Structure 1
Amino acid sequence: MSCLRKVLRRFCFIIAGLPGVVAAEAQVVKVNSPETFEKALEKATPGSTIIIANGTYTNWYVEVNISGTAQKPIIIRGESQNKVVCTGEVRKPAFLIKGDYVELSNISFQRGSIYRQGKEYGVLAELLNTKHSRIHHVACQNDTAKTQFMPLIIVGGNGEGNRVDHCSFRQNIDNQEIQVRISKDEVPQRTLIDHNEFTDKPKVTWANFNGGECVQVGQDPVLLGNQQAFTTVRDNHFVRCDAEPEVISNKSSANRYLNNLFEDCTGELVMRGGHDCIIDSNKFIGGNGIRINGTGHTIAYNSFKKVANPIRLMYGMANGKNTTGFYIAASNCKIEHNQIEDAQTGILIGDSKGVDWTGKFDTKRYPSRTIQDVPPSENQISDNRMVRTANEIVRNDQ
C-alpha cells in the first residue's frame, strides 16, 4: 500500500507540472494611455495589476468591467503617489468600475472641470453595481464642477461592501466630494467611507447656496428617505469645509457616522432625511455641530468645544417614518452622553419653528405642507455634560 501511495504522489507531481495545468502567474502591466489600459484589461485575470505610468493625462476615460476575487483583486494604481495626474475637462467617468473586487489607488485629480450634458455626466471615479471594490489613496485638488450637484466620486447601483478610504479632497469648488447614489430601485449596501481628509472647501457660487456637501448619502429625503443603505462614515477629518450648510448630508436610513473630526466648519453634520441613524463619538471644534430631522436617531458620546450650535432638533411639516413632508420633525431620538463646552446653547429643542417654504419647492413632486409647524416630540435627552454653557437646554417645541 505504501508503494502505491508513492506512485500516486509522483503521478500527481508530474501532472501538476504539465503546461496549462497550473494557472499562469497574475500579470503586472504598465500602461500610459487609455488605449494601452484597455489592452491590458483584456488580458487581466484575478490578481492582475495595471500600473499607470507617471505623467499628466487629459481625456482619460476607461471602463473596468472584469472582476477579481477576495484573495486576488484586480489592482489599478498609479506608478508613484501624486505623480499620475488626471486633469482637463471631464465629461464622462474617468474611471468607471463595474467589476467586483477591483481597487483603484495612487491617482491625483487636479484642476479638472466637471461637466454634465443631458444624461452624460463627468465624474472622476464611479463604483457602479460593484461588490467589495475600493478607491483609496486618491487625491482630488482644485477640481471644479461646472454644473450644480456634481460629485467627484460616486458609489451607485445595487452594489455592496464598497469602500472609499484614505483619500484627500482639497480646495475643490462648487462640487460634492463623495456621493452614495440612491434611487427607487438602486441602493448601494454597506458602503464604508473612512480615513479621508476634506480641507478648505470654499462657499459654492450657486444661487441657492446648495450642492457642496463633502459626503452625501442619498439625494431625495422626501420620497426616498426610508431607503436603508447601511452606510458607515467614520474616522474622517473635515477642516474649514464652508461650501454650504451641510458638510455631511444624510438623506437615507440606517446609516452610521462614527469618530469623525470637524474643525472650524460652517456646515453641519445634518440628518436632512431618513431615520434610525447613529451619530456616535464625533468631535467638533469650532464651527457648527449636528442638525436633526427624522425619527429614531441616536446621538451619543459626541464632543463639542466652542461650537456655535452643538445639537439642534428641528421642526418639520410631518412626523413619523411613514409620512410625507419636505422636512420630518425630529422625534423618538436619543440624545445622550454628549459633552458640550463653551457654547451659548447646548441643545436646542425646536429650531426653524414656523419657517415658510411656500414657493420654494415643487409641491406636486413633493406632496407636503409648506410650513414647519410640527414640533419635535418624544425625544430622550439624558446624561449630557455641559461645561461653561450659558443655556444648557432650550425648549422651543411648544
Structure 2
Amino acid sequence: MKHFKVFALLFTTLLSLCSFSKTYGFSDLKVKNITEFNQAVKNAKPGDNIILANGNWQNTELVFKGKGTKSLPITLKAEENGKVILSGLSNLRISGEYLIVSGLVFKNGYTPTTEVISFKTSSKELANNCRLTETVIDNFSNPERQESDYWIGVYGKNNRIDHNHFEGKRNVGVTMAVRLNSVESQENFHQIDHNYFGPRPILGSNGGETLRIGTSHYSLTKSNTIVEYNYFDRCDGEVEIISNKSGSNTYRYNTFFESQGTLTIRHGRGNTVDGNLFLGNNVENTGGIRVINEDQTIINNILINLAGYRFRSALTIMNGVPNSPINRYNSVDNAKISNNAFINCNNIQFGVGSDAERSAVPTNSMMTNNLFYNEKTVGLFDVFDDMSGIKFSNNFVSENTKTDMFKGGFTKTKFKLVKDKMGFTLPEVKGIKPQINENIATKDNTGTGFYSKADKEIQLSSGKIIKVAAGQNTLYDAAKNSEPGDILELTSSDIYTTDKIIEINHPLTFKSDLKIKPTILFEKQALFQIENGGSLALENLIFDGKDAPDYTGNAVIRTSKYSMNHNYILHINNCNFINLDVNNSFDVVVIAKNTMANLFKIENSTFDKISGNVVSLDKEVDDTGIYNAEKVILNNNVFSNISGTVLQLYRGGTDESTTGPFLNINHCIFDNVGNGKKNKSNAAMLIHGAQGIRIENNIFTNSKKIKLELIVGEPVVNILNNNFFKTESTLITGDQKFTEKDNFMIDPAFTNKNYELPSNSTLNAKGTDKMNIGLIQKK
C-alpha cells in the first residue's frame, strides 16, 4: 500500500507538470550551433530552457535576450554541467528579465570585447532579476598582459551571481565589476554569493582587483550590493582584493585565504564589513581590512596570521585628503570598529599615508570590544598621525603588546584560548567570545559542484628526472621532449654544447649532483629563452660564453620578446657564469616589457668577466606603477669584473595599487663592478621605486656606487652592516625615509681568490645575523 501511494503521488506530479507545460507552452530547446542558438533565443518564451549541446563551442559570442517571469524564467544551460566549453574568442551577453545561465565553462581563449560575461547587450539593454550560477571561467585571459578586460560585468538591478568558479585571471582588468554608470544600475541590490574566486597571480600593476563595486566617479552613489559566503583563494592581483567604490554595500561571511591584499573600502559611505574570516598563514603581504571614508562599520571579523604591513596590514585606518577630490581619499569619519579579533597578526596601523597631502585624520569614530592576541609581536600598533578622533574603549591586548601610543582604551590581559567547532583556536576575555559563522565560506561549499579546485600550477622540480649525457644539443633535445616540472640531470662533467636556443615553455630544472660541475657552451645569442608559461631553475652548473657569437645583445637567459601573461620564476643556485665578454654588451639575463617574475633568486653563484649587466629588470618605464619582478633575492654570490651593473630594478610612477617590488641582497661580494666605459648608469646597482629594500652584510670593493631612487609608497629601506672599500658612497635620492647604519669602509684584505677574510678581520661576526660580513664560506 505504501509503495502504491508513492507511485500515485509521482504519477499525479508528472501529470501536473505535463499539464503545466502544455498550458504555458514551455519547452527544452537543444541547440548545436550559433545559428540554432540565435533562433532559439528569438523564439524563447517564459519557462523555456535553451540547452547548449555538449562540446567545444569555439569562437562563439552568445547574445541571450529574453523576458521571463519570476515563476517562469528563461534558462540557458549546458546539456551537462561542465561539458559545454566556450573557447577561443568567445563571450556571453545577457539582457532582459528573469534569465538564468548555468553550467558553462569558459577556457582556452579570451573575450574579443570588454567582458567575458556581461549583464547587458547594449548601453540601453540591461539585465534585471537575472542569475548566473554554476558557471566557470578558468584562465580565460588575453595573451597581452596589459590589454584590459573584465570577466564579469554586472549591470542592471537585482541580479544574482552565485556558486560560480573564477580562477586565473592574468591580464589587466577586474575579475568581477559591478557597474554603476547609469541610473538603471544604481541602488541595484545585486547578490554575489557562494562563489569560488580562485588564485589570481600578482599582476605587478594597477587593475588586478578580484572584485570591484563602483568607481570613484560614482562613489557617492549607493549600490546596495550584498557580497556574502564567497571564498577568495590566494587572490594576489594587487593590494585591493575587493575594491569598494560605492555606498551601502555589505560584505559578510566571506573567507580570504592566503590572499596578498585587503578588503578595501576605497570610496563610498555606509558600508558594512561583518563576520568575515581572513586566514593568512603568515604568507607575506597577506592583509585584512583597509578603512577610508565616512560611516563604515567593521564588526565581528576574525583575522588570523596576517603578515602584511602598511596598505596590507590586518587593519589599516587611512588618513584622508582635506576637501578631497572624488578620486582621492576622503577622511575616516563616524567609523564603528567593534567585536573583531586579530590573532597573531603582524601589523595594525593608524593614520597610514599621512603626508602633506593626506593630512585629514579620522574623526567621530569608535573602536571598542576588539581583541588583539599576539604571541610574539611587541610592536603590533603603528600610529602615524593624531588619532584623538577615534574613541578607544574596552579593547584587549596580549600582555607583551605596547600600547603607550594610545591614551587609554586598551587593557593588557591573559587570554583564554578556546577551540571552536571549525577547529580554530580563538581567544576569549571577559565575556567577549569571537565566533566564526557556522556557514562561513569554505573551499568546499563555494563554487560549482562539478569543477575541480585542485591547484593547476606545476611547480619547478616536481616532475620526473631525465638523465642527459654530454654532447651536442643533448640538452636541447631533452628539453624539447620534457614535461612540466621535469628535472634534466646532467650526468657528465664533460662539455655540453648547443647551437640552438632552448625554449622553456613550462617549469623546467637543469641541474647536476657532480663534484666537478658540467660546463655548458652555447653558440647562439642566448642559451635559454623563457616563454609564456615557463619557469627555469639552474643548479650546480658552469655557463661559459666563450663560443657565443660576437653580436650585440648576447645573453645566457632571456624572456620572450612578446607579452607574457603567465608569471615566471627564475632560480639560479651554485652556478658559475664566466667569459661573458666576447662583445661589449653580453648580459646574463635579459627580460622584455610586459613580463613579470614572481621570484628572481640567485644564490651561492659566481659571475666573472661580464661585459654587460648581470640582471636588468627595468623595461617598464612608462611610470604607471608597472614593474618586472615582484621579489628579487641575491644571496651569497660573487660578482667580479662586471663592466655594467649587477642589477637594475625599476618601478616608476606614483600608483599605490601595487606594493612591490621587494629586494633583498645579502652576503654578496661586489668586486670591480660598474667600471665599464659603456655603463651609462655609472652605478654598480640602480634601484628605482622599489617598495622593500634590504641590502645587508655585503662587501663592495673597487666598485661604482649603489643608486637608490626612493620615489613612492613609504618604502621600507634598510642598508645595514655592509663594507664599502674604494667604492663610492651610496647615492639615495627622493623624498622617502630610509635607514642606513653600521656600515664600514675598511680594506677587507681577502686572503685568497675565494674572498675569505683574515681571522682577525674587523668584519668578522659583524653581520646583522652575527656572521661574517661578505661571503658565507663553504665548509
TM-score w.r.t. the length of structure 2 is: 0.43
Correspondence for 1:337: 339
- 1:111 maps to which of 105, 108, 124: 108
Q: 1:395: how far off?
A: 2.9
Would the aligned equivalents of 1:319 and 1:329 in 2 still touch at CA under 8 Å?
A: no
Q: 1:65: how far off?
A: 2.3
Q: Structure 1's 76 and 354: CA in aligned 2 closer, same or farther, altered over 3 A?
A: same
After TM superposition, the structure 1 = structure 2 runs for residues 35-46 of structure 1, keeping only pairs within 5 Å, are: 35-46=35-46
For 2:44 and 2:326, how far apart are their aligned partners in 1?
49
1:154 corresponds to 2:153: yes
Letter in 2 for 1:57: W
Secondary structure at 2:37 match in 1: helix
Letter in 1 for 2:252: L
After TM superposition, the structure 1 = structure 2 runs for residues 244-259 of structure 1, keeping only pairs within 5 Å, are: 244-259=238-253
Correspondence for 1:127: 119
1:217 corresponds to 2:213: yes
Correspondence for 2:264: 270
RMSD: 1.8
Question: C-alpha deviations, 1:251-300, integer Å up to 9, x for none?
Answer: 00010000100011111111111110000000001121111111100000
Question: C-alpha deviations, 1:57-76, integer Å up to 9, x for none?
Answer: 12212222211101000010
For 2:138 and 2:36, how far apart are their aligned partners in 1?
26
1:381 corresponds to 2:336: no
Q: Structure 1's 325 and 48: CA in aligned 2 closer, same or farther, altered over 3 A?
A: closer
Letter in 1 for 2:160: R
Correspondence for 2:138: 141
RCO comparison, higher one (Cα < 8 Å, 6+): 1
Letter in 2 for 1:382: T
Would the aligned equivalents of 2:63 and 2:92 in 1 still touch at CA under 8 Å?
A: yes
For 2:343 and 2:115, how far apart are their aligned partners in 1?
40
Q: 1:186: how far off?
A: 4.4
Q: 1:154: how far off?
A: 1.0
Letter in 2 for 1:333: A
For 1:242 and 1:211, how far apart are their aligned partners in 2?
12
Question: 245-254 or 147-156: which moved more?
Answer: 147-156
For 2:380 and 2:200, how far apart are their aligned partners in 1?
31
Letter in 1 for 2:211: V
TM-score w.r.t. the length of structure 1 is: 0.82
For 1:278 and 1:303, how far apart are their aligned partners in 2?
15
1:318 corresponds to 2:293: no
Question: C-alpha deviations, 1:195-230, integer Å up to 9, x for none?
Answer: 00111211125xxx11111111012x2x32111010
Q: Structure 1's 131 and 186: CA in aligned 2 closer, same or farther, altered over 3 A?
A: closer
Q: Structure 1's 386 and 24: CA in aligned 2 closer, same or farther, altered over 3 A?
A: closer
1:71 corresponds to 2:71: yes
Q: Taking every aligned residue pair, what percent have the same amino acid on both sides?
A: 28
Question: C-alpha deviations, 1:143-170, integer Å up to 9, x for none?
Answer: 11345442111111xx221011100112
**Higher-Rg member (1/2):** 2
Q: Structure 1's 198 and 257: CA in aligned 2 closer, same or farther, altered over 3 A?
A: same
Letter in 2 for 1:55: G
For 1:255 and 1:376, how far apart are their aligned partners in 2?
21
Where in structure 2 are there 5+ consecutive unaligned residues? 1-21, 121-125, 281-285, 308-312, 387-779
Question: C-alpha deviations, 1:281-331, integer Å up to 9, x for none?
Answer: 0000112111111110000000011113211110121369xx746111222
For 1:325 and 1:375, how far apart are their aligned partners in 2?
18
For 1:191 and 1:325, how far apart are their aligned partners in 2?
24
After TM superposition, the structure 1 = structure 2 runs for residues 338-353 of structure 1, keeping only pairs within 5 Å, are: 338-346=340-348, 348-353=349-354
Q: 1:83: how far off?
A: 0.9
Correspondence for 1:260: 254
Would the aligned equivalents of 2:131 and 2:161 in 1 still touch at CA under 8 Å?
A: yes
For 2:304 and 2:240, how far apart are their aligned partners in 1?
19
Q: Structure 1's 253 and 149: CA in aligned 2 closer, same or farther, altered over 3 A?
A: farther
Correspondence for 2:60: 60
Would the aligned equivalents of 2:232 and 2:255 in 1 still touch at CA under 8 Å?
A: yes
For 2:370 and 2:52, how far apart are their aligned partners in 1?
51
For 1:39 and 1:183, how far apart are their aligned partners in 2?
31
Letter in 1 for 2:293: G
Q: 1:184: how far off?
A: 5.2
For 2:208 and 2:327, how far apart are their aligned partners in 1?
23
Q: 1:392: how far off?
A: 5.4
For 1:338 and 1:391, how far apart are their aligned partners in 2?
19
For 1:169 and 1:244, how far apart are their aligned partners in 2?
17
Where in structure 1 are there 5+ consecutive unaligned residues? 1-21, 116-120, 356-370
Secondary structure at 1:23 match in 2: helix
Question: 236-245 or 34-43: which moved more?
Answer: 34-43
Correspondence for 1:172: 169
Would the aligned equivalents of 2:73 and 2:98 in 1 still touch at CA under 8 Å?
A: yes
Question: C-alpha deviations, 1:326-350, integer Å up to 9, x for none?
Answer: 111222110000001102333x221
Secondary structure at 2:119 match in 1: strand
Letter in 2 for 1:374: A
For 1:183 and 1:172, how far apart are their aligned partners in 2?
24
Letter in 1 for 2:79: E
Q: Structure 1's 377 and 149: CA in aligned 2 closer, same or farther, altered over 3 A?
A: farther
Letter in 2 for 1:112: G
- 2:277 maps to which of 269, 278, 283: 283
Q: Structure 1's 130 and 259: CA in aligned 2 closer, same or farther, altered over 3 A?
A: same
Would the aligned equivalents of 1:318 and 1:325 in 2 still touch at CA under 8 Å?
A: no
For 1:126 and 1:377, how far apart are their aligned partners in 2?
40
Letter in 1 for 2:49: T
Question: 380-389 or 182-191: which moved more?
Answer: 182-191
Letter in 2 for 1:354: D
Aligned length: 344
For 1:183 and 1:125, how far apart are their aligned partners in 2?
17
Letter in 2 for 1:139: V
